[in-house]
Chain A
Amino acid sequence: MGFDQYHEPPDELPPQTRTFARMCASLTEEAEAIGWYEQRLAVEPDPQARAVMRDAQGEEFKHFSMDLEYLLRRTPVWREIAQGILFQEGDIVEHGEAAEAEAGEEHEGESGPSFGSGPTGDGTLGIGSLRGAGL
């Protein structure tokens, strides 16, 4: 079994970074599956097989979206940029540049994901659940 999602020695990574890497790998796999189903649907002539594959692709849409939301909740800068791009009318590239510039001002000096930060990425301490901690 491989552990290819890690780019650095896993033993040196904190647990939250390993979780983050696993979810990034999962996001990638869901995107790949969506692309594969799209290709299969493009060439499959059997209507019933196409219906099954369309249903399966819908599952991958859901999985991809859940993975993405998880990652955005833990990465305020990413979330803020995404909010400026996703579900917006107009030029995607323009929105992207504007969102990046605005997030850069807001989060100057920060780097990497801020784990446990609130969904709005507004500076909470990211303490969250401490379940199981104690003697």
Chain B
Amino acid sequence: MSHLLRKHAPITDAAWREIDTEARERLAPALAGRKLVDFAGPLGWEYSATNLGRVAAVDGEPVAGVQANQRRVLPLVELRAPFSVSRAELRDLDRGAEDLDLDELDAATQRIAVAENLAVFHGLASAGIQGIAEASDHPPISLGDGDFDRYPTHAARAVEMLLSVGIEGPYGLALGPECYTGVIETTERGGYPLLDHLRKIIGGPLVWAPGLGGAVVVSERGGDFLFESGQDLAVGYDSHDADVVNFYLEESFSFRVATPEAAVALVRP
């Protein structure tokens, strides 16, 4: 049995299927980083660190005439988002109810998706993870305040900056929630949807990215942004009492930017 202890949860197979399905359906739209970066794995819960292929010198010589180096690795981060489900709701599910109250699960999926996106786009400094926006070698482009008509100009400028350092397309565009809503709602003069205009400039996917502040244009050629999954997102069992069953969403991963010049951050004031 795995450490998720799913077999110990006092719920039926039908309930597990409902919880897993709900979690999967809520997570997939929000996991913006995975839509734009290379994904390796999953490599298992026991997998603890990403090989960086580098060494650091160990001070001094353990024995005269012997040098020591230590391998450098990037330890995986574990994310965990707890939630509870009412046992009464679970009993109703087994009776055939289809309007279950899984609000806590839905909130947990959003929290862990935002946390993953934050790590990918803005980094998690305390865990040694640098995000795409922070790692970029290019000066950030200011988006202005609500001036969505100018987004094509900003996107074209970002693409030009990438081309100027030899980073060819297609590209992807991650948009924070405010930027995304503005893009979807805006029609340029002449009635042309802004979304279609941006899509022509970028050449790749436009992605809703909760957790991202502003936007970022990234190369989609591959090999530039590396997400390594230990355990992919899973629902585990924690505990229960007479009223609720306590679960958690969990994953482990590392993220690193191999090519800092392959992205341009677009920042809001």
Interface residue ranges, A against B (CB under 8 Å): 106, 108-110, 116, 118-120, 122-135
- On whether the beta carbons of B7 and A106 are closer than 8 Å, the reply is yes
- On whether the beta carbons of B234 and A125 are closer than 8 Å, the reply is yes
Docked CA distance A49–B235 (Å):
55
Q: Does B199 contact A (CB under 8 A)?
A: yes
Binds A, one of B40-48, B124-132, B261-269: B40-48
Residues of B within 8 A of A120 (CB): 2, 44-45
Docked CA distance A133–B208 (Å):
10
- On whether the beta carbons of B44 and A128 are closer than 8 Å, the reply is no
Q: Does B233 contact A (CB under 8 A)?
A: yes
Binds A, one of B31-39, B64-72, B90-98, B154-162: B31-39
Interface residue ranges, B against A (CB under 8 Å): 1-4, 6-7, 13-14, 17, 20, 23-24, 27-28, 31, 34-39, 42-45, 172, 195, 199, 204-208, 229, 231-236
Instruction: Please name 12 pairs of A and B residues whose Cβ atoms are closer than 8 Å in the assembled complex, sorted by A.
Output: A118-B44, A122-B3, A122-B234, A123-B6, A124-B231, A124-B232, A125-B23, A125-B233, A127-B27, A127-B233, A128-B42, A135-B205
Residues of A within 8 A of B44 (CB): 118-120
Contact of B39 among A106, A110, A125, A131 (CB under 8 A): A131
Q: A119-B44, A120-B2 are known contacts. Are A127 and B31 too (CB-CB below 8 A)?
A: yes
Residues of B within 8 A of A128 (CB): 34, 39, 42, 229, 232
Docked CA distance A135–B35 (Å):
11
Docked CA distance A135–B231 (Å):
28
Residues of B within 8 A of A119 (CB): 42-44
Residues of A within 8 A of B234 (CB): 118, 122-125
Residues of B within 8 A of A118 (CB): 42, 44, 231-232, 234
The secondary structure that dominates the A interface is loop
- On whether the beta carbons of A126 and B232 are closer than 8 Å, the reply is yes
Least distance between B60 CB and chain A CB atoms (Å): 41
Contact of A134 among B7, B23, B205, B236 (CB under 8 A): B205
Docked CA distance A106–B2 (Å):
11
Residues of B within 8 A of A122 (CB): 2-4, 6, 45, 231, 234
Q: Determine the residue in chain A with the shortest Cβ distance to B237.
A: A123
Contact of B1 among A106, A127, A132, A133 (CB under 8 A): A106
Query: Which 5 residue pairs across A and B have the least CB separation, nearest first?
Result: A134-B205, A122-B2, A129-B39, A109-B13, A124-B234
Least distance between A71 CB and chain B CB atoms (Å): 16
Docked CA distance A32–B28 (Å):
40
**Apart from A127-B232, A130-B34, what are 6 other A-B pairs with CB-CB below 8 Å?**
A125-B20, A126-B232, A128-B229, A131-B39, A133-B207, A134-B208
Most chain-A Cβ atoms within 10 A of its Cβ — which of B35, B204, B236?
A: B35
- On whether the beta carbons of A127 and B28 are closer than 8 Å, the reply is yes
Docked CA distance A126–B234 (Å):
8
- On whether the beta carbons of B235 and A123 are closer than 8 Å, the reply is yes
Docked CA distance A129–B39 (Å):
5
Residues of A within 8 A of B35 (CB): 130-134
Docked CA distance A122–B241 (Å):
24
- On whether the beta carbons of B4 and A134 are closer than 8 Å, the reply is no
- On whether the beta carbons of B207 and A134 are closer than 8 Å, the reply is yes
Docked CA distance A109–B13 (Å):
7
Least distance between B225 CB and chain A CB atoms (Å): 11
Q: Determine the residue in chain B with the shortest Cβ distance to A108.
A: B13
